[in-house]
Amino acid sequence: MLQNIRVVLVNTSHPGNIGGAARAMKNMGLTRLVLVEPQDFPSHEASARASGADDILAAAQVVGSLEDALVGCNLVLGTSARERSLPWPLIDPRECGTKSVEHAAQGEEIALVFGREHAGLTNDELQRCHFHVHIPSNPDFSSLNLGAAVQVLAYEVRMAWLAIAGEQAGGDKPQAAAPGVSELVTMDEMELFYGHLEKTLVDIGFLDPEKPRQLMPRLRRLYGRSGVDRSEMSILRGILTETQKVVRGEPHKRKDQ
Ligand code: SAH
């Protein structure tokens, strides 16, 4: 089940932090590390700080964008040390652990996303997440070292996972639920939808590309909060397709009315 939970590090500058994150993950039983444009990887320093978690580093996937890192993910939890201008559904590390394990147990794919040492995650990156996770640190000194932040979340994931193990009669290891088709759509399907939605809103004149304001981020927050499933997505895409036909003056479902 824990293999469904990936740790994504965005644009990390210090390779030592990548090693520290790998060590923290392995200590807590997490195995999947995805690196978005790391500034220095692979590196000797990363291996040194991994202290035996080299297998995690060797298997780490290096990708060019956050979008690539989130392919196939159903639930994305993005971490932030500070509040953002457009507030997002916010949870603490404990809720993050519980949510991650609950979804992983349903066979879903989860990403825990961490930002740059100096600048964290951009607003655009955070708006790709369903929830924001804040470690309730000292408000006067709120930013943890990247490896330490990974450690806190990985620990909470492990505690939630062990709690499920305790509930399962006779078993010493939590088992994933019977593999089935995941209900929640994946992030790549959501991105295609947002592209379709944005284009449609421009076509009907609701969204002015010159003055987009915060419309798309607000809609991302709305749909992200809803947890859209497969059948709901096909309704949403169907509505957009029919709307575009009306805009183009093409035959559509209710053309005779
Ligand atoms: N200066 C940056 C902080 C970067 S710390 C900023 O102002 O955003 C590097 C990363 O560690 C963050 O992007 C986040 O992923 C994680 N992190 C550090 N402190 C955190 C906290 N209190 N809560 C959640 N994540 C935190």
CATH number of domain containing 212: 1.10.8.590
- Whether the CB-CB separation of 74 and 184 falls below 8 Å is answered with yes
- Ligand 1 neighbourhood includes 75 CB (under 6 angstroms): no
In a shared domain, residues 48 and 129 = yes
Domain membership of residue 220 (yes or no) is yes
| pLDDT computed for residue 246 by the predictor | 93
Judgement on whether residues 141 and 53 belong to the same structural domain of the protein: yes
Query: Would residue 182 count as lying in a domain?
Result: no
Ligand 1 close to Cβ of residue 115 (< 6 A): yes
8 A C-beta contact, residue 36 and residue 69: yes
Domain residue limits at 229 = 187-248
Separation of alpha carbons 31 and 50, rounded Å? 13
Structure-token pair, residue 204: 């009907």
In total, how many domains does the chain have? Answer: 2
The atom of ligand 1 lying closest to the CA of 114 is: 15
| 24 and 77 share one domain | yes
- Indicate which CATH number applies to the domain containing 62: 3.40.1280.10
pLDDT at 154: 98
C-beta of residue 9 within 8 angstroms of C-beta of residue 21 = yes
Ligand 1 pocket, residue 146 CB under 6 Å: yes
Summarised one tens digit per residue, pLDDT across range 81-101 is 987 778 899 999 999 999 999
Radius of gyration in angstroms for the set of CA atoms belonging to the chain, rounded to a whole number: 20
Which residue's CA is minimally distant from atom 15 of ligand 1? 114
Domain membership flag for residue 179: no
* CB of 247 closer than 6 angstroms to any ligand 1 atom: no
Residue 165 has what pLDDT? 78
Distance separating alpha carbons of residues 217 and 128, to the nearest angstrom: 9
Cβ(43) – ligand 1 distance below 6 Å: no
Residue of 144, 145, 150, 155 with the most ligand 1 atoms within 8 Å of its CB, for mutation: 144
**pTM over the 0.75 mark:** yes
pLDDT score at 179 = 47
Q: Is the shortest distance between the CB of 131 and ligand 1 below 6 Å?
A: no
Per-residue pLDDT of the chain (257 residues; tens, 9 = 90+): 999 999 999 999 999 999 999 999 999 999 999 999 999 999 999 999 999 999 999 999 999 999 999 999 999 999 999 877 788 999 999 999 999 999 999 999 999 999 999 999 999 999 999 999 999 999 999 999 999 999 999 999 999 999 987 776 555 555 555 545 458 999 999 999 999 999 999 999 999 999 999 999 999 999 999 889 999 999 999 999 999 999 999 887 776 65
